[in-house]
């Protein structure tokens, strides 16, 4: 009951290399992505993330970079902690800017997710959608652009 697949797509009116660089700089996420309370480096390829969405629960996630390919503009990380799984960004140049697609397959290990079971699923999906919306707006502002919404 605690396994989730999330997908999202951002359209940013900036160059793909610029968007890739911003998404690759995970330590800077708290500066522009309100859902990140903290992001600190542990070593060259891993960090500890503190995130929250609409649900008043802060998740602590250890993210370990598995792939950072600036040529193909792909970022891939493995997650452990309150969330176990994998997250992947694919950043592509499109007419008018960039399309950044995010795919995530995780299991949530918080007591709330386990105890609420199926009832929590729609709330968790809504929380993740909100998490992604505020991220897109935050990145747009961070890049000095005007958000569309």
CATH code of the domain containing 14: 3.30.530.20
Number of compact structural domains in the chain: 1
Question: Contact 102/5 with Cβ under 8 angstroms?
Answer: no
User: Phi and psi dihedrals of 24, rounded to 5?
Assistant: -75, -20
Per the domain annotation, does 82 fall within a domain? yes
Structural domain includes residue 105:
yes
Range of the domain at 114: 3-142
The verdict on residue 110 lying in a domain is yes
pTM over 0.85: yes
Q: What is the pLDDT of residues 62-80, one digit of tens each?
A: 999 999 999 999 999 999 9
In-domain check, residue 149: no
Dihedral sign, CA of 80, 2, 117, 123?
A: positive
Write out pLDDT tens, residues 75-122.
999 999 999 999 999 999 999 999 999 999 999 876 656 555 666 778
């Amino acid at each position: 009951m605690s396994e989730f697949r999330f997908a999202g797509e951002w359209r940013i009116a900036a160059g793909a290399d610029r968007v890739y660089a911003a998404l690759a700089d995970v330590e800077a996420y708290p500066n522009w992505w309100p859902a990140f309370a903290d992001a600190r480096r542990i070593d060259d390829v891993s960090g500890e993330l503190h995130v929250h969405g609409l649900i008043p629960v802060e998740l602590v996630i250890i993210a370990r970079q598995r792939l950072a390919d600036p040529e193909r503009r792909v970022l891939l990380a493995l997650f452990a902690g309150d969330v176990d799984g994998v997250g992947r960004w694919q950043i592509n140049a499109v007419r008018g800017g960039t399309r950044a697609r995010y795919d995530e397959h995780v299991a949530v290990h918080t007591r709330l997710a386990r105890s609420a079971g199926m009832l929590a699923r729609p709330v968790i999906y809504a929380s993740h959608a909100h998490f992604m919306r505020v991220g897109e707006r935050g990145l747009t502002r961070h890049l000095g652009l005007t958000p569309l919404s």
